[in-house]
Each structure stands twice: as structure tokens, then as C-alpha cells.
């Protein structure tokens, strides 16, 4: 007998509409969307009653830092990180290449695949590296299924150096040969670095000034440069964690003129303004910085009008102790975790507060990412897709508590701590198998599969 499951009584979010009915899953794939009342025709199956709940396609998170393999895997690893993902409705994690060793060659790729394959509760795909020394490896990484290549236009770290302009252009030309996607952290390196140093030198005590240290024009300049280079070299470009209205306006214009560029932002740029840094200090410090309230509201317009294609979490936790290790805000690490708050945060601030439609939310968090990164079978609840399903209670009110998170760091100082959300993940399925039941992880480590990009 086939392994058949019928989700009955829910509201199913499809790419173009929300429908009341049932979802039929067979052998890990969605095989039917049945109209209300038609479920009686299906026999011989397990029935899951999801009355009153919403069924969304499992999230495809485009921007994750798992820290594993790496000596820093006490911050996050594949076991805890993908358990945390499942509890947040994320069924495919697209991991950044900055592990140790990084995914800049086949060896780095194989080491990560090995660790992820043994430990992951949810499916996963890999970014490959774009550093000055690995441009000639990109073709091989492409053959291995990497979905995109990440370069830092800003200064990064000694293990993962900045991609200076000449090497960036080399990388774009190389990727163009096989249709590869180049993703950039777009900030002008020297301008951002000088600004941050100046704030430190003058002993600035206002953490919200992180925005002034690396202002909008530092980001805009890098976005414009990347688009120019990419267009001139016939590339495909992805702007990671875009934060500014000026950048969105520029990208909107470029896209309308046919530029092959996709735009990602993160939940924290839509949920918080820079005053959160006064409250949370380095726990809210990230690059590019969290911007003004005026900018936050403008950014939402570009979420609604389609300029912004994807929302990725940039989940990359540090331990609570590490975030104060220097005793000087301007020197502390940048970045934080909390992607189990992403979907609840977007439901609260997007769907409930601003009227974002559920199909548009699904496109931003799943469908567009699957299309742009070539993840076949992901990001949709249409028949033929993998049965990656998040069951959501749209109305449930709750408070986020990092101590209860499945993340390895369990930070209780993070930006989402004690935040009230409206909307909660009640269960999460990966290829038809329940991984999270609303309270506990019920899946098996190793159930997660590698999803290679399918551009070939
Ligand atoms: Zn990142």
C-alpha cells in the first residue's frame, strides 16, 4: 500500500489563491488539492485534521549560517539548527559557505555534506564560496549542486576574504559560463570600515549610530556597482540582506529595465528600527545595520510591490557571552540567530498588521527562493511538489522565549526575546514526515536530504 496522508479541513495557501479543502500526500509528494467535501472519495489513508489552520509551503530559508563544520559549532550545528528550523516552519535551509573549512572547493563541500547529511532534520542546499582564490573552483561546485556563490564586497574575515572588484568581475564571468548565481554582501568595504572605526574612536555611546557608521549610501554604492558589473558581464545577481529604500528603488528600476537581479531582505529589517540597538546593544548588531523607522516602513512597500523577491533569516547565532566579549559595542561581533521567529514575525507584522496576502508571504519565504535557486520540488503546495508543509494557527498569541528555542545557543538576550507574536507554527512536515509537532521535535536526524540546484 502506498503511504497516503490526507490533511483535512485547513486553508491551503497556493501560489495564486487560498483554498478551503484537503491536501493529499503520497510517498512524500503532494498529489492532490481537493475541494471541500471531496475528501470522502479518498480511502485508505491516514487523515490529519487541520480544521481552522492554515497550510503554507515549508519555508526555504535562503540565508543561514550553520557554523558547522567549524570550531565555532558550539553556536549552531546541523542537529540543533535544523531542529530549530523545523520549529519555525523552515523545511529547506540554504546554508552559507562560511564553515571551516569553507565551501570554496570540493573538500569543503564534501565535509559539510557529510555533517549535514547525518544530522539534519530538514532538507538543505548549499551556497558555494566566492573568494579571490576560489573562482576557478566554482564550476566544480556548480556540478556538485551549489545553488549560488557568496562574495563579501565588505571586509569579511581572514578565513573568508573580501571579494575585491577585479575578483568579483572574474567570478561573475566564470559564473555566467554555467548560469551560476552570484550573491553579494553589498557594502562599500572601506567606507563601512572607516565609519565603524570613527564611531569607536570618538567613543560614541549611542548604539543606534551603527546606522550612521555604515549609512545607506555605503550600501547603495555597492549595490549599484554590483549591478553594473553583473549586467556588463551578463551575470545573474542576488543582493543578500538588502536593507535600504534607496537600494530598493534603484533595484526596482533596474529590474523594470530587464536586469537579472534578485533581492533578499531579512525579517529584522522589517520588524525593527535602529532604536532596538539602544535596548539590545550588540545583541541587535548586524551588517548592514538595522535602519530608521522611516526606512522600515518604506521597505515594506517594496515587499508588497515585488521588488523584494525573498526574505531570508541571516540566522547566525553567537553565544550571549560572545556578544559582550570586547566590552565595547563597536568591536563586538555582528549577527545573531532567531530564525524560529521569522515566520511568526512576518505573520504578525506583515499579514496581520499590514495586510500582506498569504500567497505573497509564501512566495517571499518559499516559492521565489526555490525558483531563483533552482530547488526543484520545493516552495509550493501544488501537486508534484515535495510535501513540505507548515501548519499554522494564524490567531494564536504567544511570546517568544529563546530559552525554549531548539537552537544550540538558546539566547535569551536576542532581539526577539519576549516579543509578542500573532500566529504560531503548530506542526511541520518534510516530504510528508512530521518533524515538529508544535511542542517537540519528532523527526529523525539524518532525515534531511541534500537538494542540489537543478539548473543543469
Ligand atoms: Zn549572512
**What's the CA-to-centroid distance between 6 and ligand 1, angstroms?**
38
Q: Is the pLDDT of residue 158 over 90?
A: no
**What's the CA-to-centroid distance between 39 and ligand 1, angstroms?**
43
pTM to 2 decimal places = 0.97
**What's the CA-to-centroid distance between 304 and ligand 1, angstroms?**
23
Q: At what angle do helices 106-119 and 78-87 cross, to 10 degrees?
A: 60
**What's the CA-to-centroid distance between 413 and ligand 1, angstroms?**
20
**What's the CA-to-centroid distance between 396 and ligand 1, angstroms?**
30
The chain-wide mean pLDDT, for the chain, equals 97
Q: What is the DSSP letter of 290?
A: P
Mean pLDDT of 347-353: 98
Q: What is residue 7's predicted lDDT score, i.e. its pLDDT?
A: 97
- Residues 300-310 have pLDDT tens digits of 999 999 999 99
**What's the CA-to-centroid distance between 284 and ligand 1, angstroms?**
14
pLDDT band for position 341 (cuts 50, 70, 90): very high
- Alpha-helix residue ranges (DSSP H) falling in 22-75: none
What distance in Å separates the CA atoms of residue 186 and residue 222, rounded to the nearest whole number?
5
Fold of 58-372: TIM Barrel (3.20.20)
Residues within 5 A (CB) of ion ligand 1: 314
Mean pLDDT of 357-382: 98
Our measurement of the distance from residue 244's CA atom to the centroid of its chain's CA atoms, rounded to an integer in Å, reads 18
Q: What is residue 15's predicted lDDT score, i.e. its pLDDT?
A: 97
- Residues 41-89 have pLDDT tens digits of 888 899 999 999 999 999 999 999 999 999 999 999 999 999 999 999 9
**What's the CA-to-centroid distance between 80 and ligand 1, angstroms?**
18
**What's the CA-to-centroid distance between 411 and ligand 1, angstroms?**
18
Q: What is the DSSP letter of 395?
A: E
Q: What is residue 41's predicted lDDT score, i.e. its pLDDT?
A: 86
Q: Is the pLDDT of residue 168 over 70?
A: yes
Q: What is residue 2's predicted lDDT score, i.e. its pLDDT?
A: 60
Mean pLDDT of 335-344: 97
Q: Select the more confidently predicted residue: 316 or 2.
A: 316
Mean pLDDT of 9-33: 97
**What's the CA-to-centroid distance between 349 and ligand 1, angstroms?**
22
- Return the ∠ at Cα 230 (arms to 368 and 126), rounded to 5°: 45
Amino acid at each position: 500500500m502506498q503511504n497516503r496522508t490526507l490533511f483535512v479541513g485547513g486553508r491551503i495557501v497556493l501560489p495564486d489563491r487560498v483554498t478551503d479543502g484537503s491536501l493529499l500526500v503520497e510517498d512524500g509528494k503532494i498529489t492532490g488539492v481537493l475541494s471541500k467535501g471531496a475528501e470522502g472519495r479518498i480511502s485508505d489513508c491516514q487523515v490529519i485534521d487541520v480544521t481552522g489552520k492554515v497550510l503554507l509551503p515549508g519555508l526555504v530559508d535562503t540565508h543561514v549560517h550553520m557554523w558547522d563544520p567549524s570550531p565555532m559549532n558550539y553556536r549552531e550545528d546541523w542537529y540543533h539548527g535544523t531542529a530549530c528550523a523545523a520549529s519555525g516552519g523552515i523545511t529547506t535551509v540554504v546554508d552559507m559557505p562560511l564553515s571551516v573549512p569553507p565551501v570554496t572547493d570540493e573538500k569543503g563541500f564534501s565535509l559539510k555534506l557529510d555533517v549535514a547529511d547525518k544530522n539534519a532534520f530538514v532538507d538543505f542546499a548549499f551556497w558555494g564560496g566566492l573568494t579571490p582564490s576560489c573562482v576557478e573552483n566554482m564550476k566544480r561546485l556548480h556540478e556538485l549542486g551549489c545553488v549560488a556563490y557568496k562574495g563579501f564586497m565588505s571586509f569579511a574575515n581572514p578565513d573568508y576574504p573580501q571579494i575585491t572588484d577585479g575578483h568579483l568581475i572574474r567570478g561573475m564571468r566564470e559564473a555566467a559560463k554555467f548560469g551560476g548565481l552570484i550573491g553579494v554582501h553589498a557594502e562599500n568595504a572601506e567606507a563601512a570600515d572607516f565609519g565603524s572605526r570613527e564611531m569607536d574612536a570618538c567613543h560614541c555611546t549611542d548604539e543606534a549610530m551603527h546606522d550612521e557608521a555604515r549609512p545607506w549610501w555605503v550600501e547603495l554604492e555597492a549595490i549599484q556597482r554590483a549591478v553594473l558589473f553583473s549586467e556588463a558581464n551578463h551575470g545573474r545577481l542576488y543582493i543578500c540582506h538588502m536593507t535600504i529604500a534607496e537600494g530598493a528603488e534603484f533595484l526596482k528600476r533596474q529590474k523594470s529595465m530587464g536586469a537579472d537581479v534578485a533581492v533578499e531582505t531579512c525579517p529584522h529589517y522589517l520588524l525593527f528600527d535602529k532604536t532596538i540597538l539602544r535596548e539590545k546593544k550588540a545583541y541587535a548588531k548586524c551588517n548592514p545595520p538595522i535602519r530608521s523607522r522611516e526606512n522600515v516602513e518604506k521597505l515594506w512597500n517594496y515587499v508588497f510591490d515585488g521588488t523584494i523577491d525573498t526574505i531570508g533569516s541571516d540566522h547566525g547565532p553567537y553565544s550571549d557571552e560572545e556578544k559582550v566579549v570586547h566590552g565595547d559595542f563597536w568591536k563586538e561581533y555582528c549577527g545573531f540567530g532567531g530564525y524560529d521567529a521569522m515566520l511568526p514575525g512576518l505573520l504578525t507584522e506583515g499579514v496581520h498588521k499590514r495586510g500582506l496576502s498569504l500567497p505573497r508571504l509564501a512566495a517571499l519565504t518559499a516559492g521565489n527562493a526555490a525558483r531563483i535557486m533552482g530547488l526543484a520540488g520545493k516552495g509550493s503546495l501544488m501537486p508534484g511538489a515535495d510535501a513540505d508543509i507548515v501548519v499554522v494557527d494564524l490567531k494564536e498569541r504567544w511570546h517568544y522565549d529563546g530559552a525554549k528555542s531548539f537552537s544550540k545557543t538558546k539566547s535569551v538576550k536576542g532581539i526577539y526575546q519576549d516579543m509578542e507574536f500573532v500566529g504560531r507554527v503548530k506542526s511541520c512536515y518534510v516530504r510528508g514526515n512530521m518533524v515538529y509537532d508544535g511542542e517537540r521535535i519528532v523527526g529523525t536526524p539524518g532525515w534531511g536530504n541534500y537538494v542540489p540546484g537543478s539548473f543543469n
